[in-house]
Amino acid sequence: MSFSLIPDYSFPDICKVTPEFLKEKGIRLLLLDLDNTMAPYGTVIPTREIAEWAETVRQSGIETFILTNNNGSERVEALSKALDMGYIMGAKKPFVSGINRALDKLGFRHEETALAGDQIFTDVLAANCAGITSIIVRPIKIVNPLLNVRYWLEAPFRALCPNKM
Ligand SMILES: [Mg+2]
């Protein structure tokens, strides 16, 4: 566990995170941030590309599970159902409680788990603090100035990522 804001791996988008890569790193459970990682804000249907990617990962024997800070939203339910994944809402990343709850629920160990997300200050920090592998992806869509500022603040930590894939 560490309080580092530097991701272990960085990918241009979630679909580039292949089952081969995950298996090589010993990952058996992939926790997924929802908003702007799996779907842009506001959408309730995943793109075909992301749905197919999720299916490929699952068929390879790797478990997938959504861990979102989004709270009490029908959209989370709709997207999780469409992607055929379990989920935890209100995960409170960067706190590690949501990650630990998911691991307990699904029966995986920290060393065989990764979290992929689009935000340094929530997803990456939570994963690093929990002692699981952290994967950063670029946000699908930056729709407002606030997201733009955050992305700019995150830039140094993205740049420091030792493994840009
Ligand atoms: Mg996100």
Q: Are 65 and 86 in contact (CB under 8 A)?
A: yes
Contact 125, 5 (CB under 8 A): yes
The sign of the CA dihedral 12, 16, 19, 20 is: negative
Ramachandran angles phi, psi of 141, nearest 5°: -150, 125
Sheet strand arrangement including 133-137: 9-11, 133-137, 113-117, 29-32, 63-67, 86-88
Per-residue model confidence (pLDDT) at position 101:
98
**For residues 98 and 113, what is the distance between their CA atoms, to the nearest angstrom?**
13
CA-wise closest residue to 16 among 162, 155, 138:
138
Instruction: State the distance from the centre of ligand 1 to the C-alpha of 24, rounded, in angstroms.
Output: 25
Q: pTM, whole model, 2 decimals?
A: 0.96
Q: At what angle do helices 48-59 and 74-83 cross, to 10 degrees?
A: 60
Which residues lie below 8 Å from residue 95, measured CB to CB, with a gap of 6+? 126, 129
User: For each of the chain's 165 residues, which pLDDT tens digit applies?
Assistant: 688 999 999 999 999 999 999 999 999 999 999 999 999 988 999 999 999 999 999 999 999 999 999 997 899 999 999 999 999 999 999 999 999 999 999 999 999 999 999 999 999 999 999 999 999 999 999 888 888 899 999 999 999 999 999
**7 alpha carbon – ligand 1 mean position (Å):** 15
For residue 16, which amino acid is it?
K
Ligand 1 centroid, distance to 51 Cα (angstroms): 17
Sketch out the chain's domains with CATH numbers: 9-159 (3.40.50.1000)
Distance 156 CA to ligand 1 centre (A): 18
Distance 118 CA to ligand 1 centre (A): 5
Q: Residue 35 C-alpha to ligand 1 middle, in angstroms?
A: 4
